[in-house]
Amino acid sequence: MKSYKIGIDTGGTYTDAVVFDPVEKKVLKSVKALTSHGRLELGIVSALKELFQDKKAVYRVSDIGLVSLSTTLATNSLVEKKGADPGVVLIGFSDDMEQDPTSRIWYHRKDLEDSRGASLRR
């Protein structure tokens, strides 16, 4: 049995979803659904339904081994300096990660800065 991956990204206008075959290293299907602000699950469900409407698809729901969900809405909020002050939640990482020079994840507990040292506070 094959194990395919689904990637979903909720953006400002569209929610994109893809089915990816990691063995063949190719996208089998990609779809777009409108993002519903305040009800992001509507766009996600709509995109998922569209992925599985194709009766000729080589994948089925039971073939999916991973579903990954991301959003650009938080990134847009930071870049546009809109919304509440940002916070970072890391699950499964130790406190010393901020001192790891090889880590691409950065955070400061007292003052949040971007990678150039510029404050992200308003």
- In the chain, pLDDT over 70 holds for what percent of residues? 67
- In angstroms, what CA-CA distances link 101 with 93, 109, 118? 15, 17, 19
Taking the domain 4-76, which CATH number applies? 3.30.420.40
Report whether pLDDT(14) > 70: yes
Cβ atoms < 10 Å from Cβ of 36: 15
For 59-86, how does the pLDDT look when each residue is reduced to its tens digit (9 = 90+)?
999 999 999 888 887 777 777 877 776 6
86: DSSP letter: P
* pLDDT, tens digit, 9 for 90 and up, residues 35-47: 998 899 999 999 9
What integer pLDDT is reported at residue 51 of this predicted model?
94
**This prediction's pTM:** 0.64
Domain residue ranges of the chain, discontinuous segments joined by + = 4-76
Q: Where are the beta strands (DSSP E) in the chain?
A: 4-10, 14-21, 26-34, 64-71
Strand order in the sheet with 26-34: 26-34, 14-21, 4-10, 64-71
Amino acid 81: pLDDT: 78
pLDDT for 118 equals 55
Give the model confidence (pLDDT) of 79-119 as tens digits.
Answer: 787 777 666 655 555 554 444 444 444 444 444 455 555 55
Residue 55 has pLDDT above 80, yes or no: yes
* pLDDT for residue 57 is more than 80: yes
CB 103 within 8 A of CB 96: no
